[in-house]
Amino acid sequence: MANVVVVGAQWGDEGKGKLVDWLSERADVIVRFQGGHNAGHTLVIDKEVYKLSLLPSGIVRSGKLSVIGNGVVLDPWHLKEEVSKLAGQGVAISPENLMIAENTPLILPVHSELDHSRESSNAVAKIGTTGRGIGPAYEDKVGRRAIRVSDLADPATLSTRIDRLLAHHDALRRGLGMEPVDRDDLMERLTDIAPFILQFAAPVWNVLAEKRKAGKRILFEGAQGSLLDVDFGTYPFVTSSNVIAGQAATGSGMGPGSIDFVMGIVKAYTTRVGEGPFPTELDDADGQRLGERGHEFGVVTGRKRRCGWFDAALVRQTCSTSGVNGIALTKLDVLDGFETLRICIGYDLDGKRFDYLPFAADQQARCVPVYEDMPGWSESTEGARSWADLPANAIKYIRRVEELIGCPVALVSTSPEREDTILVTDPFSDKQ
């Protein structure tokens, strides 16, 4: 059976929640492999709206195993709140349908406090972080001082880990003019939350290996978007983890050979939340129209998203770094009614043409998008479920996107409803 990785191929907010839910109905296991509760997914099922930020999207479907992999940074208190909220919507969550990798690092209050302190400082340029402690938690993981899920099971080990962590953080906090961490309070809070978290703890790498041997279909769910990848994104305005498809292997404990199909989720235009370069950003009526029609506000933060034309050069770049086999084109209906649509096909940098965005920040700032114009359509595409339902110019737009990014369209989404989807290529087929 084919195993599928879903990644965002822009700056996030591409509509992964709906597509993962659409795919999860046919999967047996759904795995989150990076990020934390800084990225949100909205699912609409039978008119019921579910807002998730840490739990895998498959959790709302019965009979599926949802997994939080070791590549995620986990805020245990947020997880408890999210589980409680879903329980109020009738979603039963137990160790039978949720597992957390034992080697998953935790997000602690010290991490969010550090995040807020840094972002509010006038000494350095703002990154645009959500303030949820994601970056500092990944720093501690790499610095080998993180507290992991398995540490909660043994008070002596936990105590040692806290001492190692605070030796770093208290020194850092002094430099930022912050009070030292209350060690006893942190120990007490972790001891209190431990039973809740440990009930879900499991050797995920081993469980996934057994599921694969048994022929189960595994869906790997990424958060955010590839242009926020710590290596290949618009650094330093990025997240603190690898977002591209290769992280599905290291963030879950499965080898790269277990991945059969990579689906890149791509919005029919471009949006970005927070700071950082955005070559096709629109500060005019067209940009406002895209934002209003697309309801472009962050699920987690509520922040207004910046909007612009589709950037084929950037998507071609992310399709390459993630090895995307096919894209799911979302929010096509938002483009309904535009007389003319523009697609960025490259950049002009000081008179020289580039077909990719350079990594150097000063060069990115000077890149001027080179556009190709296409006729729009006046008909509605909302709710379309077949090619026959689409206007001719909408199909031409989709085909041109395929040509420019060098990757075929596997799915087209025409509304938040999961059924409003046009299937072109079945990603779960083992006959690609």
Which residues are tagged catalytic? 13, 41
Q: Which of 317, 346, 335 is nearest to 374 (CA)?
A: 335
Dihedral angle of Cα 223, 229, 232, 237, to the nearest 10 degrees? 130
In angstroms, the CA 186 to CA 301 distance is 26
User: Which is it for strands 65-68 and 41-45: parallel, antiparallel or unpaired?
Assistant: unpaired
Which residue is listed with tokens 């190709």? 372
Alpha carbons within 13 A on the beta-carbon side of 301 = 16
In angstroms, the CA 340 to CA 9 distance is 24
In angstroms, the CA 415 to CA 379 distance is 15
State the CB neighbour count (10 A cutoff) for residue 351: 5
Please write down the HEC assignment for all residues of 269-326.
CEEECCCCCCCCECCCHHHHHHHHHCCCECCCCCCECEEECEEHHHHHHHHHHHCCCE
Which positions ≥6 away from 108 have C-beta within 8 Å?
133, 137, 147, 165, 186, 190
Q: What are phi and psi of 344, to 5 degrees?
A: -80, 125
Q: Which of 282, 221, 239, 228 is nearest to 31 (CA)?
A: 221
Which residue is listed with tokens 């580039």? 354
